[in-house]
Structure 1
Amino acid sequence: MILCRGKTVAEAMNMGEILAERISDLFPHPIRLEFEKVYRPFILVGKKRYVGAMYSANPESHDKIDIKGLDTVRRNCTLYVSRITKDCIKDIIEKGNIDAAVERARKAVDDLLSGGADAAELILYRTHAKKKYKSAQAHLCVVDKRIARGGEPAKVCDRIPYVICKEWVTDEEELQKQRKDRPHEFAEGENRAVQRKVAYRAEDPDYVKEKGLSIDYAYYECKQLKRPLLRLFGPVLGGEKKAASKIWPTNN
């Protein structure tokens, strides 16, 4: 990629065509370098991670919003994170309204922490593979629970849906008993408090709905939404620290 500072889209496209011709002249036939596209605006998040309005033919109208390597296009991304980041990208790239994007991100965090997010948008998926893991995996814990409840075992390559729930045992005595019986499920958390590991708090979405289990919204905010927002807004707002101070003003 070449940064064409101060150029219009049309001028950048013309530069690309000229450079492609001149570089092609340096190589023997049939090697040819072709001009592909211009991005404006463009957000470079990192190596092979970027988003921008892509122009390939008409400098007056972009072909599409091209997203590469960001969380919004990853298969293990929740629908909630994907929808919010895509909407923020539209605010920034298509509308040029960074303030609106920041406000949208801030509201998404507030909605999530207040339990206003749609539970269906918080479902995570992992593919069931025939391999061994060093640590407990949420999707495998869900498979084991389904089998224990009389369900069918998962097949290799099945996509296992699950959500992360809050600790459902409220009686301290019972919780300590479970900790003693199944110590592998627990770990020392904040303030040295003993907590059940996240993988063991994963549950089948249908079971969560049936039993009315509480979703751990704080987990989704911290482990699912925060990093994608910081990665997107970091280059736009002058770094991830500044982005965090805008989206999470009360935490700074």
Structure 2
Amino acid sequence: MIEQTKQEVEAKYCMAQGYGHDAVVIYGDTDSVMVNFGVKTVEEAMELGKDAAAYVSAKFVKPIKLEFEKVYFPYLLINKKRYAGLYFTRPDKYDKMDCKGIETVRRDNCPLVANMMNTCLQKLLINRLFDQISSKKIDPDGAVAYAKQVIADLLCNRIDISQLVITKELAKQDYAAKQAHVELANKMKKRDPGTAPKLGDRVPYVLIAAAKGTPAYMKAEVC
């Protein structure tokens, strides 16, 4: 379905057919397709998105149907299943900053990483949007400067340890590769079987300093 949609969209919404830009399908995953129509406004993108959904749906065998869902602007595509953008369902105001598969929404990262990523994305997406609307000059290095400051605070021991706690679920008995939370759970079981994490529990831990060459899974310790 994705390949057929790509072919149909790029063949119709192009300069050769009288459109101002050549549309490009930039991402497709399972049952969704993302298209860059090359337009300058959210309203134009929405109009073309709705039109393309109806056009492509007519090419499919019923009851298969492609529906327009939203516009991302700005949009940051990192790689497959990892992207972020401002989510618009109406042209006048964005609904939310939407993140998929990155550190702001993953539960297996410490709060420091999630908070830093969230702030960086706000600087890259939300601040950029308002600066484009107001035509003010923006500082493209704002997110980089913020990340460097957080790293400096971490290295100087100015970050509370609660911001460094990672939690992962003890989901199964055996893992193909060694995992930090599993190794820690085994150590805790040897220390005190009565209080050790059980299958299904989430194991909170921090990574501590260790000798050079020590695998990461051996650095986990109770916080």
Normalising by structure 2, we get a TM-score of 0.72
Residues 207-226 of structure 1 aligned to structure 2 (within 5 Å): none
Residue among 110, 118, 121 paired with 2:160: 118
Residue among 31, 47, 66 paired with 1:33: 66
- Where does the alignment leave 5 or more consecutive residues of structure 1 unmatched? 168-185, 190-194, 206-252
Cα distance change, pair 103–134 in 1 and its aligned pair in 2 (3 A): same
Partner SS, residue 73 of structure 1: coil
Alignment partners' CA distance in 1, 2:125 and 2:172: 42
Q: Which has the higher contact order (CA 8 A, sep 6+)?
A: 1
- Render the CA deviation track for 1:75-112: whole Å, top value 9, x for unaligned: 11111000000000001100015322111111011111
Residue among 88, 106, 110 paired with 1:55: 88
Alignment partners' CA distance in 2, 1:116 and 1:29: 60
Residue among 176, 199, 203 paired with 1:156: 199
Alignment partners' CA distance in 2, 1:137 and 1:16: 44
Cα distance change, pair 160–18 in 1 and its aligned pair in 2 (3 A): same
Alignment partners' CA distance in 2, 1:134 and 1:30: 41
Partner SS, residue 141 of structure 2: helix
Alignment partners' CA distance in 2, 1:119 and 1:145: 21
The 8 Å contact of residues 49 and 68 in structure 2, kept in 1 or not, is answered as yes
- Render the CA deviation track for 1:150-201: whole Å, top value 9, x for unaligned: 352321111111111224xxxxxxxxxxxxxxxxxx8xx4xxxxx5444333
Q: Which residue of 1 aligns with 2:56?
A: 23
- Where does the alignment leave 5 or more consecutive residues of structure 2 unmatched? 1-33, 129-138
Normalising by structure 1, we get a TM-score of 0.64
Partner SS, residue 53 of structure 1: strand
CA RMSD, Structure 1 to Structure 2 (Å): 2.1
Runs of 4+ in 1 over 6 A off after TM superposition: none
Cα distance change, pair 128–16 in 1 and its aligned pair in 2 (3 A): same
How far residue 144 of structure 1 moved from its aligned partner, in angstroms, is 3.5
Cα distance change, pair 22–161 in 1 and its aligned pair in 2 (3 A): same
Alignment partners' CA distance in 2, 1:68 and 1:77: 14
Q: Which residue of 1 aligns with 2:179?
A: 137
Residues 191-206 of structure 1 aligned to structure 2 (within 5 Å): 196-205=214-223
State percent identity of aligned pairs: 36
Alignment partners' CA distance in 2, 1:109 and 1:142: 26
Q: Which has the higher strand share?
A: 2
